[in-house]
């Protein structure tokens, strides 16, 4: 393999960029799929054993074929910068599997490399192979705090301003250049964008006040290199000392925000706790918060239940984390069994509910975020905080989606929804931004509704959403049906 450094050219900002990776292909998909490098292939017998859990394993021939078959056009990788395990995890013989505890801002981790001295080469090759396959690469970055052993090297907020919840919270008003340098280091590899963990920390200035136009945010979004990439993230941190941590809809237009209001409303509706009249706002892209549709709707990401577990878990099952089940979120979205139905029939209801959630996601205005775990119906056994589980709790078992597999029906249905969404949603997002979108709601009681969208050129999308019933979506142009799907697993 050629050295990564030998394949670099220099931009006007003296930033090295792989010569064959200049083309940024972000926004070729309206669906982003989150993944952890190890989780993707550790259990995949179709990937050579020496490549499982590595950068190269993620782009092995079987995986590239899987992405294409699944309709995956954009992958968002959990942190790939060098990280360090917390001491309490080391003492328990565990690791920080998710990699959010950074120790080095300017080196990709050797953990996912087949050869530790070739980590950059192998990471660059992964990005290049994905791009050659039409798949863009988004990187999750956590510049809000550092590992305790590295804390003395950085300017930190005082402990009473613990916005990250991890004590060693960086004061990014003072460390902005270090973050910019880190992002530019990663941009060298030809990646397409960033997802920023606890994004308000990037905007804390003065006495910890939130300023969406902070020095760092302005520099990042307007930089000649970084400004051409996509930027998204959580519009919340922990807040403290009277400083609010919740800032939905307050970030600049160029920054796409994760919409937890969509997550909560759709979850509540599909377990029967919310009226159909209350979900219209989020299906329409939460436009009062996001008039420019700089919104990323989602139902689940890494921190929480998988979609499969969401409606099947009475109480979190985090015992394996070694904290007596105290960690993680205590909310439950269990879909109660219905009297008179068999266990199998109630399981079918839960499948129908999660397919309905996924369809609501794919047919909503804005951008869509999901996980590879959810696409294949992965279960973590009810663990909703699997940050320290480098094992089968997190590793994806692809045998379950092969012929005869217990999750094949889920994978097939969700893949249909993804492809339908990618085929149909773009003209309606465009019409919305141009203020040319027509919409009509038809409520058929408290538990179901039909949303009809009309866009110039005869484009029409009719989506029926209902609790405890089959959801449908039909896309037509000038009256001719182009794509039609339902949440019914029988078709």
- From start to end of 93-175, where are the E strands? 136-141
- What is each CA distance from 466 to 198, 281, 296, 486, in whole angstroms? 33, 16, 22, 11
SS3 state of residue 297 = strand
Please report how the helices 343-362 and 260-270 are oriented relative to each other, as an axis angle in degrees rounded to 10: 150
- The whole-angstrom separation of Cα 287 and Cα 299 is 18
Unique residue bearing structure tokens 């869509």: 368
Q: What residues are labeled active site?
A: 197, 234
Nearest by Cα to 85 from 159, 145, 148, 36 = 148
SS3 state of residue 477 = strand
Which helix (H) or strand (E) is 41 found in, with range? helix 37-41
Tokens of 131: 């791009």
Unique residue bearing structure tokens 């910019």: 180
Residue 212's φ and ψ, nearest 5 degrees, are -60, -20
Alpha-helical (H) ranges within 271-407 are 280-283, 307-310, 343-362, 372-375
- Residue 178, classified by CB atoms within 10 Å of its CB into exposed (0-12), middle (13-18) or buried (19+), is middle
Contact 255, 199 (CB under 8 A): yes
For residue 91, the number of C-alpha atoms closer than 13 Å in the C-beta half-sphere is: 5
Taking only Cα atoms into account, the Rg of the chain, rounded to an integer number of angstroms, comes to: 22
Contact 143, 102 (CB under 8 A): yes
Burial 112-134 (b: 16+ CB within 10 A, else e): bbbeeebbbbbbbbbbbbbbeee
- What is each CA distance from 12 to 5, 182, 183, 186, in whole angstroms? 18, 18, 16, 17
Nearest by Cα to 394 from 147, 95, 23 = 95
């Amino acid at each position: 393999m050629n050295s990564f450094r030998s394949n670099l050219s220099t931009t006007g900002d003296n930033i090295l960029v792989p010569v064959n990776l200049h083309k940024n292909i972000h926004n070729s998909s309206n669906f982003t799929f989150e993944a952890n490098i190890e989780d993707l292939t550790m259990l995949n017998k179709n990937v050579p054993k020496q490549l499982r859990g590595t950068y190269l394993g993620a782009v092995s021939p079987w995986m590239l074929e899987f992405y294409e078959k699944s309709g995956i056009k954009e992958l968002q990788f959990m942190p790939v910068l060098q990280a360090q395990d917390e001491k309490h995890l080391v003492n328990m013989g565990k690791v920080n599997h998710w990699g959010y505890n950074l120790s080095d801002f300017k080196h990709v981790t050797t953990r996912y490399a087949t050869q530790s001295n070739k980590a950059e080469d192998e990471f660059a090759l992964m990005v290049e192979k994905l791009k050659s396959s039409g798949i863009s690469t988004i990187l999750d970055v956590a510049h809000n705090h550092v590992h305790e052993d590295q804390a003395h090297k950085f300017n930190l907020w005082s402990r009473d301003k613990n916005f990250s919840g991890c004590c060693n919270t960086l004061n990014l008003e003072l460390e902005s250049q270090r973050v910019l340098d880190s992002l530019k280091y990663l941009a060298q590899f030809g990646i397409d964008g960033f997802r920023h963990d606890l994004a308000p920390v990037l905007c804390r200035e003065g006495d910890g006040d939130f300023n969406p136009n902070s020095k760092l945010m302005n520099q990042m979004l307007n930089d000649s290199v970084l400004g051409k990439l996509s930027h998204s993230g959580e519009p919340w941190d922990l807040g403290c000392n009277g400083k609010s941590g919740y800032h939905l809809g307050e970030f600049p237009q160029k920054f796409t925000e994760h919409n937890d209001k969509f997550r909560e409303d759709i979850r509540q509706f599909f377990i029967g706790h919310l009226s159909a009249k209350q979900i219209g706002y989020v299906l329409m892209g939460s436009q009062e918060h996001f008039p420019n549709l700089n919104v990323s709707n989602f139902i689940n990401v890494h921190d929480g239940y998988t979609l499969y577990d969401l409606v099947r878990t009475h109480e979190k099952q985090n015992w394996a984390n070694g904290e007596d089940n105290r960690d993680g979120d205590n909310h439950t979205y269990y879909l109660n069994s219905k009297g008179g139905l068999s266990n199998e029939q109630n399981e079918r209801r839960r499948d129908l509910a999660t397919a309905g959630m996924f369809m609501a996601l794919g047919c909503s205005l804005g951008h869509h975020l999901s996980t590879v775990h959810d696409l294949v119906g992965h279960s973590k056994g009810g663990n909703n905080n699997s940050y320290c589980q480098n094992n089968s709790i997190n590793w994806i078992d692809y045998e379950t989606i092969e012929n005869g597999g217990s999750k094949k029906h889920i994978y097939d249905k969700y893949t249909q929804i993804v492809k339908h969404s990618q085929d149909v949603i773009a003209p309606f997002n465009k019409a919305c931004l141009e203020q040319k979108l027509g919409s009509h709601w038809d409520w058929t009681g408290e538990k179901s509704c039909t949303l009809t969208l009309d866009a110039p050129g005869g484009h029409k999308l009719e989506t029926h959403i209902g609790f405890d019933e089959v959801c449908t979506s039909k896309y037509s142009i000038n009256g001719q049906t182009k794509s039609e799907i339902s949440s019914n697993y029988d078709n």
